[in-house]
Chains A and B, each alone.
Chain A
């Protein structure tokens, strides 16, 4: 059974460009989470969805960040415009229900020059 799928795995872009990260959760999981990992701040939750509905986006750093989940099998995290301080590894995770464990994708390493 496939795990959480993320694309692209690596992204290098220039400051000011739009970046879109993609995630496909594990089939049947109804919760999806976006995390960011940096050396300075560790792993931080940005936003999560239950049944495709955003529940808590308090971790989204600023208005440049937006996330959508148009259906149960796809989510995007968009940064527009990107800045060098957005450079990090972005993880997507999914969970089968509200209380169970979370399973992480391989991450997208974003570098903004």
Chain B
């Protein structure tokens, strides 16, 4: 099955800094999601982005499907951005079963 790798595993930044999180996947995908798991454990949808670029406020994401990676950008980080960021792709192209990466733990210090 498809492999998903996220980097870096941990990232500690000061408030106001920018960050880039990466998600690599081992096979072609037609579906990719980014989630934020906040410190209370909630999984919040950030982007559904099989390809191209999307922006939502201070967050944006780019997926380059042909090169099998996606990037999540966070600008002007705030303490509320802390948590774990996951990317997820279908286990098999076209399938509904998602495979999650191990996540990037982001800590934003005031």
Contacts and interface: CB of A to CB of B under 8 A. Distances in A.
Given A42-B102, A100-B48, A102-B33, A107 B96 contact: no
Contacts, number: 43
Contact of A103 (B30, B41, B45, B96): B45
Interface centre among B30, B42, B96 (most CB of A within 10 A): B96
Interface of A: 31, 33, 42-43, 45, 48, 50, 55-56, 89, 91, 95, 98-104, 106-107, 109
Given A43-B88, A56-B97, 12 more contacts: A43-B86, A45-B98, A55-B96, A99-B30, A99-B94, A100-B48, A101-B31, A101-B33, A101-B45, A102-B45, A103-B45, A106-B41
14 contacts: A33-B96, A42-B100, A43-B86, A43-B88, A45-B97, A98-B96, A99-B31, A101-B48, A102-B98, A106-B42, A107-B41, A107-B42, A107-B43, A109-B41
